[in-house]
């Protein structure tokens, strides 16, 4: 298949029929399908099924019972479940004109680009449909800041926050993407070096329903930028440093109350491990919790590893200081650096590893007759042949 139009939806029931009608018309002559990745708690899935039955264009629905990663998570799930040559992501509220779909495909094929962005900020584009001057200002400012942070990766696009874009499926490494917030295009462009082309986007007003963007999305964008720029490890280091200060403060404070230094050191170690764990759960590995082992298992892994690490570190400190002429502070600094790296690797690779904890039911996948036939005749490329990970399995039902 040439094209999968991926439409993330959250309570978009009144927009579905018109969207499918216009997409079907726009992609006439192209071997295409629509894939709704839906997290709704209204009747959107029913409406999609009903509309699918009335159209020749294959319409697939991937409903997530356990939505992870919001809009970005939905797009990633969509990408995982398609092998079409191109995927085009578009909103389900008709703020993105379906009539632009063929232009995106044509641009990609003509230029050989990996990504084609429908941009509000090129000749012929506009963001008039963005409600309110404040939102427009916020949007423009965040584009400027973001482009300044990633000058080379975002060089090719004037609109890295666009929600309307085409991806040459074979060029995109989906596994490295982090699912959070609304800005999945930014995530894709910042993580990988990709060639980009653009077509104009006339951003329309919503057809019906209400926007799901809110302050939370702004905060999510800030965290996403920080993480993309500095990586998870810097936040982990900041929490580690905070923990070290707290450790010394507790050690000192308890001794003021007459507690012996060894007992105080043990209490300080346990208190710091608990504090670090709570902070990393909240701020560092927040987006990985959903697919990882349960919170109690994460806690015990952390406690056991960090406890062992500090015991071994203290023993090595004693051993090295007693048997060499190295200064204890120097030795401790080296051991802390090694311990920090090991702790980070253990946490990110093992404690928060995706083990697919929540299993959804299979019932929510529908395909129209045509789509079912299409899927049955699909070749799954090696790139996509990996088994589904995470809480939602693939929608490839033959
Ligand atoms: N699957 C899924 N779609 C979402 C989620 N949040 C928003 N969307 C969809 O993403 C698209 C853009 O969201 P919208 O609320 O219109 O944001 P705005 O255009 O920035 O105001 C729409 O099709 C929404 O239905 C979500 O958590 N999950
Ligand atoms: Mg919208």
pLDDT tens profile 362-393: 333 333 333 444 444 343 333 333 333 333 33
Which residues sit with Cβ closer than 5 angstroms to ligand 2, an ion? 91, 93, 95
Claim to verify: residue 71 and residue 185 sit in the same structural domain: yes
Q: Which of 212, 218, 221 has the most ligand 1 atoms within 8 A of CB, as the residue to mutate?
A: 212
Cβ–Cβ under 8 Å, residues 390 and 73: no
Looking at the structure, do residues 75 and 173 belong to the same domain, yes or no? yes
The DSSP code for 116 is E
Predicted confidence band at 131 (pLDDT cuts at 50, 70, 90)?
Answer: low
The tally of domains found in the chain comes to 2
User: What would the pLDDT profile of 265-323 be if each residue is shown by its tens digit?
Assistant: 889 889 999 999 999 999 888 877 877 899 999 999 999 999 999 899 889 988 998 99
Question: 171 with 54, same domain?
Answer: yes
Ligand 1 binding pocket (C-beta < 6 A) is 8-10, 12, 37-39, 67, 70-71, 74, 91-93, 95, 163, 211-213
Domain with 152 in it: what CATH number?
3.90.550.10
Q: Which atom of ligand 1 is nearest to the CA of 206?
A: 16
Q: Which residue has the least CA distance to atom 14 on ligand 1? A: 211
Q: Is the pLDDT of residue 69 over 80?
A: yes
Residues 224 and 248 in one domain: no
Judge if 147 and 236 occupy the same domain.
Answer: no
Side-chain half-sphere exposure of 346, counting CA atoms within 13 A: 17
> Residues 12, 156: one domain?
yes
Least confident of 44-48, 145-149, 175-179: 175-179
Judgement on whether residues 225 and 235 belong to the same structural domain of the protein: no
The strand pair at 86-89 and 59-63 is best described as unpaired
- How remote is the CA of residue 234 from the centroid of ligand 1, in Å? 30
Instruction: State whether 178 and 91 are in the same domain.
Output: yes
Cα separation, 83 vs 360, in Å, equals 22
Domain that holds residue 369: 3-229+357-389
Residue 71 forms part of a structural domain: yes
């Amino acid at each position: 298949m040439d094209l999968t139009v991926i439409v993330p939806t959250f309570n978009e029931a009144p927009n579905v029929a018109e969207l499918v009608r216009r997409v079907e018309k726009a992609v006439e002559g192209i071997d295409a399908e629509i894939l709704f990745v839906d997290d709704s708690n209204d009747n959107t899935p029913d409406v999609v099924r009903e509309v699918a039955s009335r159209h020749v264009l294959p319409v697939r629905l991937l409903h997530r019972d356990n939505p992870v990663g919001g809009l970005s998570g939905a797009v990633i799930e969509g990408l995982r479940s398609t092998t079409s040559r191109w995927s085009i992501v578009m909103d389900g509220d008709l703020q993105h004109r379906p009539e632009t779909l063929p232009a995106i495909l044509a641009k990609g094929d003509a230029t050989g680009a990996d990504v084609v962005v429908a941009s509000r900020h090129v000749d012929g584009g506009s963001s008039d449909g963005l409600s309110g001057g404040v939102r427009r200002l916020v949007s423009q400012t965040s584009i400027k800041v973001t482009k300044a942070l990633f000058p080379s990766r975002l060089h090719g696009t004037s609109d890295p926050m666009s929600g309307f874009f085409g991806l040459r499926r074979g060029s995109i490494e989906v596994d490295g993407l982090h699912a959070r917030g609304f800005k999945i295009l930014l995530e894709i462009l910042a993580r990988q070096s990709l060639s980009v082309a653009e077509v104009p986007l006339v951003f329309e007003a919503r057809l019906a329903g209400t926007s799901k963007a809110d302050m939370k999305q702004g905060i999510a964008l800030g965290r996403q930028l920080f993480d993309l720029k500095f990586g998870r490890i810097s936040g982990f280091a900041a929490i580690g440093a905070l923990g070290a200060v707290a450790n010394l403060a507790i050690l000192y404070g308890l001794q003021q109350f007459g507690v012996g230094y060894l007992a105080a050191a043990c209490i300080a170690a346990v208190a710091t491990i608990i504090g670090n764990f709570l902070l990393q759960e909240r701020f560092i590995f927040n987006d990985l919790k959903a697919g990882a082992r349960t919170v109690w298992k994460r806690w015990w892994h952390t406690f056991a590893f960090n406890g062992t690490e500090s015991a071994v570190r203290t023993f090595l400190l004693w051993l090295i200081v007693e048997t060499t002429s190295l200064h204890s502070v120097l030795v401790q600094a080296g051991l802390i650096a090694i311990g920090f790296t090991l702790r980070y690797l253990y946490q990110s690779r093992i404690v928060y590893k995706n083990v697919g904890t929540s299993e959804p039911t299979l019932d929510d996948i529908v395909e129209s007759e045509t789509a079912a036939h299409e899927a049955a005749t699909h070749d799954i490329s090696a790139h996509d042949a990996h088994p589904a990970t995470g809480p939602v399995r693939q929608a490839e039902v033959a």
